[in-house]
């Protein structure tokens, strides 16, 4: 089966600019996650979708980050305006049902550098 697709692979922007990341989950996977991984740290959940509804966005900085999952398939994560501390790898993951018996499948991530 095809894996989780993410684009772009790399992005360099200046602070205060905006950026968007795209994710296409594995076909049939109802649950989609966006994680932020800062260098030297483990991934941190930003937002979780079940189909096109938000399940958990408690750690999403809503003043600058937004995410949507139209039609319950693809998802986009946007940062506007970006700050230096947003430099990180943004990982998208999906799972079949959102339960532990369907482990998360991660994409290769988008590496964002904010200068």
Partner 1 sequence: DQQVKQNSPSLSVQEGRISILNCDYTNSMFDYFLWYKKYPAEGPTFLISISSIKDKNEDGRFTVFLNKSAKHLSLHIVPSQPGDSAVYFCAGKIQGAQKLVFGQGTRLTINP
According to the binding rule CB under 8 A, does residue 44 interact with partner 1?
A: yes
Give me the 2-21 binding string for partner 1, x by CB under 8 A, dash otherwise.
--x-----------------
Pairing label, strands 10-13, 110-114: parallel
- Candidates 17-25, 63-71, 80-88, 89-97; binding stretch for partner 1 (CB under 8 A): 89-97
Task: Based on the shown chain and the rule CB under 8 A, indicate whether residue 45 belongs to the binding site for partner 1.
Answer: yes
25 scored as a contact of partner 1 (CB under 8 A): no
Interface with partner 1, residue 53, by CB under 8 A: no
Applying CB under 8 A, which of residues 32, 67, 91, 112 lies at the interface with partner 1? 91
Which residues have a Cβ under 8 Å from the Cβ of 1 and sit 6 or more positions away?
26, 27
Give the SS3 label for residue 42.
coil
- State how far the Cα of 29 lies from the Cα of 6, in Å rounded to an integer: 15
Q: Which stretch binds partner 1 (CB under 8 A): 13-21, 22-30, 62-70, 107-115?
A: 107-115
Q: Which of 19, 3, 33, 36 is nearest to 115 (CA)?
A: 19
Q: Is residue 27 a contact point for partner 1 (CB under 8 A)?
A: no
Least distance CB 9 / partner 1 (angstroms): 8
Residue among 58, 78, 97 at smallest CA distance from 13: 78
Q: Total number of residues binding partner 1 (CB under 8 A)?
A: 24
51 Rama sector, left if φ>0, alpha if ψ -120 to 50, beta otherwise: left
């Amino acid at each position: 089966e095809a894996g989780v697709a993410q684009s772009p692979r790399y992005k360099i922007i200046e602070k205060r600019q905006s950026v968007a990341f795209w994710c296409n989950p594995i076909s049939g996977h109802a649950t989609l996650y966006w994680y932020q991984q800062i260098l030297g740290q483990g991934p941190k959940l930003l937002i979780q979708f079940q189909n096109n509804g938000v399940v958990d966005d408690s750690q999403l900085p809503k003043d600058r980050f937004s995410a949507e999952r139209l039609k319950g398939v693809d998802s986009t994560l946007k940062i506007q305006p970006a700050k230096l501390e947003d430099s990180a790898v943004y990982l998208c993951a999906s799972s079949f049902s959102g339960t532990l018996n369907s482990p998360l499948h991660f994409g290769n991530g988008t590496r964002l550098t904010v200068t």
